[in-house]
Structure 1
Amino acid sequence: MMKWTVWMLAVSLLAGCGAGARNETSPSPQNNPGVTAQQADPQKKEINDRDSVAARLCALATGIAGVKDARCVVIGNTAVIGIDVDERLDRGRVGTIKYSVAEALRNDPYGVDAFVTADMDLSARIREMRADIDRGRPVAGFAEEMSDIIGRIIPQLPRDLAPGNTGGAGQS
């Protein structure tokens, strides 16, 4: 039951990452006949073969100087890419490498909406998800890793603890 709840939470979080409704209004073209509206962003390209897209995006990422390794997980029509860089690099250099990867992906129809992370823990979790997918356990592997990620994000609130359950903390 807990895994199902975590799975549903993860799916709703991913679904909520899109652009939300905006209350802003734009000027009416009727009031300004010289203005015409154009679609600025191309539609997201449909991903039919997730494994080949993941391999393609990993190849693009590892082609960037400073990227030691990359792994990619495609979820629905969105890709998440974890990159490994030298752990001795300072934060600014890591940010520059991550930006360079994002620039390379921006020119790819599948990579334009990808998420790129250089965080070591998230990259390791993406590696585990990729390994689970390769072993034929895409749903179970994703649910387990998302459960671990969400468990690290959600704080433990004292009021959520059951009365009388100390969990071993503070005992001598």
Structure 2
Amino acid sequence: MKIELKPMPDSDVGLAVGTLDGKPLVYDGRTPLVAGQPVEHREIASALVDAVDRAASAVFGPEWVKDLSLVTGLNVRTVQRDRIVKYGLPSVALKTLAEASAYEEPRALGYLMLAVARMYEDRAVESAVKSVPTGAKGEVSVKSQVLLAQALEMVDWLRVRRAQHQAPKLEDR
């Protein structure tokens, strides 16, 4: 039995997160449906954790638990392998992994998702301290565009300068 988390169009019933042995895997709430038929989580648990591991590793690297927790807002314990085997993951987390892991540069997307999640987390902490509503999406969007532009400039500047200051090759000495 093999689950592949991959982008798929959603059905009228729920969120499509991939396939199980080539058949569509859709979640109606927390209930997995294979080719439209409900299945018990315990029947697919092992295949699901393997699929999550593959997809999350592609997006966040081999130590993906904390990163997945931060991006999804789920408790770290909830996204650990043994808990996924026992309880699964919310379908929105599975769908996100399916989409992100299929991206052309999944690891780069993962880093950006982490940056955005960190900015949301920082904004939420700041809002809680000030006791004001967050309205975070617009503010985080603007800040992330500025930060991305700054990061691009810094890395470009660094690489150009680094190339100018390379040590001579051994045969040139």
* TM-score above 0.5, yes or no: no
- In the superposition, the TM-score normalised over structure 1's length comes to 0.28
Greater RCO (Cα-Cα under 8 Å, separation 6 or more): 1
- In the superposition, the TM-score normalised over structure 2's length comes to 0.28
